[in-house]
Structure 1
Amino acid sequence: MTMPKRRLGAEGPTVSAIGFGSMSFGGFFGPADDDTSLETLAAVAAAGIDFWDTANIYGMGRAERIVGQYLKQTGARITLATKAGIIPGPPRHYSNDADYIRAELESSLQKLNRDKVELYYIHRREEKRPVEEVAETMGRLIEEGLIDAWGLSEVAPSTIRRAHRVVPLTAVQNEYSLWTRLPELGVIQTCEDLGIAFIPFSPIGRGALGVGDLDPQSFGSHDFRKQNPRFLEPNWSENMDYIRAFRRFAEDKGVTPPALAIAWVLHQGDHLIPIPGTRTAEHLADWAQAAEIGLSEDDLWEIEQILPAGWAAGDRYSDTQLFGVERYC
């Protein structure tokens, strides 16, 4: 089957209903190598996924460079998003300063072998800088033809409304999945009301809802999940009881757990375009057909009984990782 399409915002292009996130190319979830990443991108393209997401901070430019290399080698036509705003430090901090955002965009374009990107996100909002000022900065980049549209990441509904009034947003990207459902308390509805695409990242729960059991004890020292409370004991063992029940339901339906998890996200609204990521083509095959899975009202009810809202033990981020994420509930 052909990958279904969804519109990226009220005025944006149509893109594959499932996108691809390249965070894992930067080594956040274990060792990554360029050849394997390029093979993964080839599999992504073959699956009909033409909406790709990256960021300047993923591997400190490594993910952007790999995407740029693939695009230069193949001439693939995709809708591309990248991000800026996080400065790793130490200490980690954020900047939405106009000169910084422009300089990072120019650096990203060079690595991506592009003269523009279709979507440019503020990766984290700088708390003390009015978002209206940031919107004006992004509006100038649009006027200059360096970006087609702009977005925000990990923000509250109030921030979305304020920014959208100045320069309309095309997309908002927050974590959303069966184990992280905070966006249901305002972000999803606000995006729908304003004609903004909502882009759920980590729709497979950072691998927790994958095909096999993860072993957090085996995570490398640089694995992003090593500090996530949900992957620490006693939370992890409690979470696995729920996850195994979900796996059994997926198996009864004849689909993989990650594909079912993504299908559930897709059923939460036509303006949702999830961007799962993976390091390998093998894992991509586990969920690439998720948009083909139909879910009945009975299926959705059953999933809700197995994984009710708030089921996950532990926070999605450690206190250090949570710094910079807007809280609104």
Structure 2
Amino acid sequence: MKTRKLGANGPDVSAIGLGCMSFAGFFGATDMATSHRCLDAAVDHGITFFDTANVYGPGLSEEVIGAWRKTNKAPITLATKVGIRRDPERPVDNSADHINEQIEGSLKRLGTDHIPLYYIHRRDPAVPVEDLVGTLGRLIDSGKIGGYGLSEISPATLRLAHAERPCTAVQSEYSLWSRMPELGLVQATAELGVAFVPFSPLARGVLSEASLDISNMNPADYRLQIPRFSPENFPRNMAMIDPFKSYVRSRGWTVAGAAIAWVLDQAPHMIPIPGTRTAEHLSEWVNADQISFTDDDRAEIDRLLPVGFAHGDRYSMQQLRSVERYC
């Protein structure tokens, strides 16, 4: 697989990473053996960048990766996150006490003494950016983390943080149906030499070979809380996406592969992290870095899925509480 640089001073990593949230059962039941087969397949295909978080499970995704690392010693770059709490009174916590406590749990579950990239999962407005970066800087100086990242933040927050201490990466939802980062965040990360890490580049499974039926989803599937998956909006969205699926298949590509290739094509500092819990689904997109678009392809994709085509918001109002919205 091709590689890209994880920030101006970061390591080279695979151009496509692996999001590991689904190892904790967010999209359906799974088990340790299935997750380990997926991880094995990922490194066999050249993926070296793996993304998780302390709240996935909570802790389960990190435990899966930690157990896998005991038997597979392939050189990889790990990223995990901190800052979201399962507490309705304080759902986001960027305090030094919380971060210093939580990183110890992540290190233990991952079976390591060093995390190459440590993200703030969501920004806590009660903690000044300068104080937050100070806490993360001390973790870098102690050797516990290699660099810090920020997730779902505004370009303004990035600039404040980066001025205190250079940021390695910013993570945000970005795909053919979620394009808000184009209104400043893509540009700011490129200007500052910060990697942009799009999560959900497959639109939470919509841009894949699967034919999703929301009526058959597990009632616990968190996608059912998202307005784009409502009974009113989902059929409208699929009516737009189905012609895109037909087009990319006519070009000899998988739907997932083309969707990730589109993200890679937007800027050289993008490192998408599609998620899956099975080796079989991974095979649908793992060669996306080999897809090359012509100008005609780009024009047709833009015609089929123009900016802002999606019906419904990408999160519910509850889920949006801790996301910085800047446009």
- The two structures share one fold, judged by TM-score above 0.5: yes
Corresponding residue number in structure 2 for 1:132 = 130
Work out the CA distance in 2 between the residues paired with 1:34 and 1:323.
Answer: 32
**2:121 maps to what in 1?**
123
Q: Which residue of 2 is the match for residue 96 of structure 1?
A: 94
Count of residue pairs brought into register by the alignment: 327
Query: Counterpart of 2:157?
Result: 159
Q: Residue 256 of structure 1 corresponds to which residue in structure 2?
A: 254
Which residue matches 1:192? 190
TM norm structure 2: 0.99
Q: Aligned partners of 1:289 and 1:321: how far apart in 2?
A: 32
1:298 and 1:313 map into 2 onto residues whose CA distance is 26
- Among 269, 283, 286, the alignment partner of 1:285 is 283
Which one-letter code corresponds to 1:151 in the other structure?
G
Q: Which residue of 2 aligns with 1:233?
A: 231
- Which of 42, 45, 70 is matched with 1:44 structurally? 42
What is the CA–CA distance in structure 2 between the aligned matches of 1:299 and 1:164, rounded to whole Å?
36
> Does the 8 Å contact 1:176/1:202 carry over to 2?
yes
Deviation of 1:91 after TM superposition, in Å, equals 4.6
SS class of match (1:152): strand
Give the equivalent residue in structure 1 for 2:4: 6
What is aligned with 1:294? 292
Alpha-carbon contact 1:27-1:223 (below 8 Å) kept: no
**Aligned counterparts of 1:167 and 1:222: Cα–Cα separation in 2:** 40
Equivalent pair of 1:173/1:199 in contact (CA under 8 Å): yes
C-alpha displacement of 1:221: 2.5
Judge which range, 61-70 or 24-33, deviates more: 24-33
Residue 244 of structure 2, aligned match among 242, 246, 264: 246
Task: Judge conservation of contact 1:54–1:63 (CA < 8 Å) in 2.
Answer: yes
Q: SS of 1:86's equivalent?
A: coil
Root mean square deviation, CA, Å: 0.8
Structure 1 unaligned spans of 5+: none
Partner residue of 2:325? 327
For 1:98-113, what aligned pairs fall within 5 Å after superposition? 98-113=96-111
* % same residue: 52
- Structure 1 length-normalised TM: 0.98
Output one character per residue of 1:132-155: Cα deviation in whole Å (capped at 9) or x when no partner. Answer: 110111000000000000000000
Shift of 1:222: 2.1
C-alpha distance 276-92 of structure 1, shift in aligned 2 (>3 A): farther
Q: Which residue of 2 aligns with 1:142?
A: 140
The 8 Å contact of residues 84 and 104 in structure 1, kept in 2 or not, is answered as yes
Which residue matches 1:267? 265
Match of 2:169?
Answer: 171
Q: Distance in 1 between matches of 2:299 and 2:134?
A: 43
Q: Work out the CA distance in 2 between the residues paired with 1:220 and 1:111.
A: 28
Q: What does the per-residue CA deviation read over 1:12-40, in whole Å, with 9 as the maximum and x for residues that have no partner?
A: 00000000000111111111211111111
- Secondary structure, aligned partner of 1:93: coil
Q: Give the distance between the partners of 1:118 and 1:258, measured in 2 at CA.
A: 28
Q: CA deviation at 1:90?
A: 3.8
Amino acid at match of 1:87: R
